[in-house]
Structure 1
Amino acid sequence: MRKWLVPAVMIGALTAAATSPAHAHKLKVFATAVGERIEGTVYFVGGGPARGARILVESTDGKPIEELTADDAGAFAITAKVRTDHVIVTDSADGHSARTIIPASLLPASLPLPASTLGTGAAEARVSTAPAAPQEGGTGDPAAMEASIAQAVARQVAPLREQLSAYEDRVRLRDVLGGFGYILGLAGLFAWLRARRPMGGGR
């Protein structure tokens, strides 16, 4: 029996598994914060948008914040009501799932803190969110101007981050499939060389 057939068959099976639809259509979710608004998209790596994907937004301790459905472009958006980490969990009808987190640090400081973090720090929170007193000769609230600039920058950067994330996913998938194809090619070459060798020890 030719023992080289066993590794060749195993490598072929692994390659088939790697190129299966389940692997090629891994679900991904991308999200970013633009002011109080959290926007994102749900999509399949190597495929199109995850239309109608169920999206659950919850806190880090598992408390639900909002539930919604992705539109035909796989897009979704919510308005944050408290300054806390937002965990975004999504799943599709075929059983795929993905998650990402929007940290509280990306949300405006003007948003109220969740009730669980107030308590003894309520006074400090009120002081930190209170409007600053106007200054003589000033042209406006520096904090408000800074927040406005941050929102404008985030709005411009968000599409670039999304495109970069999708590009990295495609490159990663292509590298994996290319690696398996390379291994399979070497296995085929090895099998061909073994088949050309004369059987037995005679000349």
Structure 2
Amino acid sequence: MKIRSFFTAILTALFGIFYLPSANAHALYVFAQYDGQVLSGKSYYSDMAPAAATYFEVFRSGIEEPILTGKTDVLGAFNIAVPDAPNTTLKVVVEGEEGHKVSVVADRTMVSNSSNDNFMLLREDIAHLKDKIYLHDILGGIGYIVGIAGLIAWLNSRKIKQGAK
């Protein structure tokens, strides 16, 4: 009976993962960069949908109060001018829907004469790849669960065999 319940739970979980994508939980992600003049970035959910019209705050290292606040655009992006202060870091805190909240320290970039849009697109692609959940991650997690269950079953069978002797 226990084995039947175990396999029923596994099949239900697999069905939920592959056939009910809207039932999966989602998280909020953000990336930001600062070139000494402009703080730019983008916030999005784990299903890669933009976190449109979400509020964000900008904190400078060592200061408890936000130095700037704003709202993302319809694509989840933000660009805001921040006066440069040497030897400080900027932290961006985004508060999304349903109580989601995420913070990130903005990466420092060098100011260049060329367009910063290509660099921003590259950073966006890297962030999407980093935050995406892949099938091998799911299968690896299921493998860990089955392996731990097998180890527990093996230890229990050893105890039963030792008790029978």
- TM-score norm. by structure 2 comes to 0.67
Pick from 82, 90, 95: which aligns with 1:91? 95
The change in CA–CA distance for 1:175 and 1:91 in structure 2 (over 3 A counts) is farther
Q: How far does residue 52 in structure 1 lie from its aligned partner after superposition?
A: 1.0
Give aligned-pair identity as a percent.
Answer: 23
Q: How far does residue 12 in structure 1 lie from its aligned partner after superposition?
A: 5.2
C-alpha distance after superposition, 1:155-187 (max 9, x if no partner): 5322212111112222x3443334467789x8x
Q: How far does residue 95 in structure 1 lie from its aligned partner after superposition?
A: 1.4
Q: Map of 1:4-43 to 2, 5 A cutoff?
A: 4-11=3-10, 16=16, 21=22, 23-43=24-44
Q: How far does residue 94 in structure 1 lie from its aligned partner after superposition?
A: 1.3
2:118 is the counterpart of 1:156: yes
The change in CA–CA distance for 1:107 and 1:166 in structure 2 (over 3 A counts) is closer
**2: distance between equivalents of 1:13 and 1:65?**
48
Q: How far does residue 88 in structure 1 lie from its aligned partner after superposition?
A: 0.4
The change in CA–CA distance for 1:67 and 1:21 in structure 2 (over 3 A counts) is farther
Pick from 131, 138, 153: which aligns with 1:177? 138
Q: Tell me, what secondary structure is at the counterpart of 2:98?
A: coil
Unmatched 5+ stretches in structure 2: 147-165
2:129 is the counterpart of 1:167: yes
C-alpha distance after superposition, 1:77-125 (max 9, x if no partner): 111213221110111121112111025xx267xxxxxxxxxxxxxxxxx
- Tell me, yes or no, if the aligned pair for 2:52 and 2:73 is still in contact at 8 Å: yes
Aligned-CA RMSD value = 3.4
- Tell me, yes or no, if the aligned pair for 2:36 and 2:84 is still in contact at 8 Å: no
- Tell me, yes or no, if the aligned pair for 1:86 and 1:102 is still in contact at 8 Å: yes
- The structure with the greater share of residues assigned to strand is 2
> How many residues are matched?
141
- Tell me, yes or no, if the aligned pair for 1:25 and 1:47 is still in contact at 8 Å: no
C-alpha distance after superposition, 1:3-36 (max 9, x if no partner): 203433454576558x775855211001112341
Unmatched 5+ stretches in structure 1: 109-146, 187-203
**2: distance between equivalents of 1:63 and 1:20?**
39
Q: Tell me, what secondary structure is at the counterpart of 2:44?
A: strand
Q: Map of 1:63-142 to 2, 5 A cutoff?
A: 63-83=65-85, 84-102=88-106, 106=108
Larger-Rg structure: 1
